Amino acid sequence: MSDIVLNVSGVNKTFGGLKALTDINLKIEAGKTHAIIGPNGAGKSTLLNVCVGRLEPDSGVVDFNGTSLTGKTPYQINQLGVARVFQTPEIFPDLSILHNVMIPAFAKKEGEFSFNPLASLFGSNEVQDEAEHVLNDLGLTSHRDEHAGSLSRGDKRRLELAMCLVQHPKLLLLDEPTAGMSRHDTNRTIDILKKIKERGMTKVIIEHDMHVVFSLADYITVLAQGTIIAEGSPEEVKGNPKVQEAYLGGEHV
């Protein structure tokens, strides 16, 4: 096994009486795209939330490159190199597209807090160049000066992806990056994600769309009712009868 970027071991999480996650063990390898699939309510988003510090696990450890993420706030986890794309786009709707991407670039460059009220934005060429480069990669350059709030839903998701990519995260978490997208936009997003893969960025992707999962994933973990019922390469998972029953079958019947 190569380097483990994210190591989730023995994680439990309950909401009231509901067991959302039961004894989850997960190892994410460097440079790989790891898909987490499962029916609705399987605990996929909960697992991602535990990974980014939005939720504390009741027990168990989440370890990122040897650092425990337990008790860390979202900004601390981001500063360690974990970026996240949300299920509903979390962008800065009142700012221009360019500024939306410059802000995460500032976070990467200057850290969690820097006080420079008299520095000029005009002098931030390095950050701006970086942001423009990423916008160009994602085909958003023509929208550069528009308000992010006025973008279409598909473009908002691409913008959010740009905001994550500009930070060159060590680990990128994607929560249904193509949900609600047209087939055209979905394919475009797949192409972008494939391109990132070539750069060796580690990704965890939650997705319902099997087309997306099987075009991107190196490794698949199947969650159902808060437990891992299967894992393996796409071929292994595809052929697993348990998975077909719990998920693939369940969805088609």
- C-alpha triplet 118, 119, 123: angle, nearest 5°: 150
Site string for another protein, 110-129 (x = CB under 8 A): xxxxxxxxxxxxx-x--x--
Stretch that binds another protein, among 24-32, 107-115, 193-201, 209-217 (CB under 8 A): 107-115
Which has the closest alpha carbon to 191: 161, 235, 221?
Answer: 161
Length of the chain: 253
* Nearest distance in Å: CB 147, another protein: 7
Q: How many residues belong to the site for another protein (CB under 8 A)? A: 45
User: Which residue in 19, 27, 133, 147 binds another protein (CB under 8 A)?
Assistant: 147
Name the 3-class secondary structure at 37.
strand
For position 79 contacting another protein by CB under 8 A, the verdict is yes
**146 touches another protein (CB under 8 A):** yes
Phi first, then psi, for residue 61 (nearest 5°) are -130, 135
Going from the C-alpha of 166 to that of each of 79, 86, 127, 178, the distances in angstroms are 13, 16, 9, 19
Element (H, E) at 229: strand 227-232
* Region 161-220 residues binding another protein, contact defined as CB under 8 A: 163, 167
Interface with another protein by CB under 8 A: which residues? Answer: 52, 73-75, 78-79, 83-84, 86, 90-96, 98-99, 102-104, 106-108, 110-122, 124, 127, 144-147, 163, 167
